[in-house]
């Protein structure tokens, strides 16, 4: 499958975070946000696997990182082939963007 949108490095502003992503806690230490890339409109997923090792063993993602309500940085990792994508880049359209947290917050 290919997209009509060619590969192009694009940085979308923090002031316009994507609000349509589905957020879920996918097991211990893993948070995922899945939705439509605001640039190419393909489905992409951003994964956070922030395992921190403490004296008593591993702990999950830093809950404080998700409690502040600030949008989270992401880049497109869609599997769609985009014309002009460099060979060393395996996926995505080149867009970087921000994803808004859900209004009700995340339960980790």
Number of domains making up the chain? 1
pLDDT at 52: 54
- Cβ count near 27 (within 10 Å): 10
Instruction: Tell me the pLDDT of the chain averaged across its residues.
Output: 84
pLDDT > 70? residue 20 = yes
pLDDT at 59: 52
Query: Could you tell me which of 99, 102, 3, 103 has the C-alpha nearest to residue 47?
Result: 99
Structural domain range at position 43: 10-99
pLDDT tens profile 48-57:
886 555 555 5
- Decide if 62 is inside a domain: yes
Tokens 């499958």 belong to: 1
- Does residue 63 sit in helix, strand or coil? helix
- Decide if 68 is inside a domain: yes
- Cβ count near 68 (within 10 Å): 7
Q: Of the given ranges (35-39, 46-50, 81-85), which has the lowest mean pLDDT?
A: 46-50
């Amino acid at each position: 499958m290919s997209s009509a949108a060619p590969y192009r490095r694009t940085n979308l502003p923090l002031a316009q975070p994507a609000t349509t992503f589905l957020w879920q806690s996918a097991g211990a230490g893993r948070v995922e946000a899945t939705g439509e890339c605001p640039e190419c409109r393909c489905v992409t997923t951003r994964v956070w696997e922030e395992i921190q090792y403490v004296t008593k063993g591993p702990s999950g993602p830093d809950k404080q990182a998700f409690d502040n309500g600030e949008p989270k940085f992401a880049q497109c990792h869609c599997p769609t082939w985009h014309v002009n994508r460099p060979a060393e880049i395996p996926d995505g359209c080149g867009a970087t963007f921000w994803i808004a947290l859900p209004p009700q917050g995340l339960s980790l």
